[in-house]
Amino acid sequence: MRYLLFALLLGGCGLDRNIEGKVTIDQGVYGLLVHGCDSSGCQDQPAGGEHVTVYSASASSAYANADSDSDGVYQINLPAGDYTLCTYSCTPISVPDASIVRYDWTSGPGGGHWQRN
């Protein structure tokens, strides 16, 4: 019984990926930044205080930027259009008119990876 309780407690300590309640923007991009884990017994952690930059598809200079909060959540107001979203690696994104899109980033080999949710 003690081992079952311990397993349930460990499962409850995982990263909360349900971040929609924290989103305050009406249009743009938001997501969760995660310090990934690739060793036994390690758990993914939120990447708080990480910098996210958005580049316009038509310009090489930064269009907008933000830092993730202590829970690893970032959000950036953007007009509809095509952009490049970067932290330690970059990915192309499209923001439709009057919409928000979610892109999560997890650290790892090669600079980590982005995932659209």
pLDDT tens for each residue of 56-87: 988 778 999 999 999 999 999 999 999 999 99
Q: Average of pLDDT values for 17-40?
A: 92
The Cα–Cα gap between 62 and 66 comes to: 11
Give pLDDT, residue 9.
38
Give pLDDT, residue 5.
34
pLDDT tens for each residue of 1-20: 443 333 333 444 568 899 99
Domain boundary assignment for the chain: 17-116
3-class SS of residue 96 = coil
- Tell me the pTM: 0.83
User: How far is residue 84 from each of residues 38, 65, 67, 91, 93, measured CA to CA in Å?
Assistant: 27, 11, 16, 6, 6
Q: What's the angle, vertex CA 26, arms to CA 23 and CA 35, rounded to 5?
A: 35
Say which CATH superfamily domain 17-116 falls into: Transthyretin/hydroxyisourate hydrolase domain (2.60.40.180)
Query: Within 13 Å, how many C-alpha atoms sit on residue 64's CB side?
Result: 16
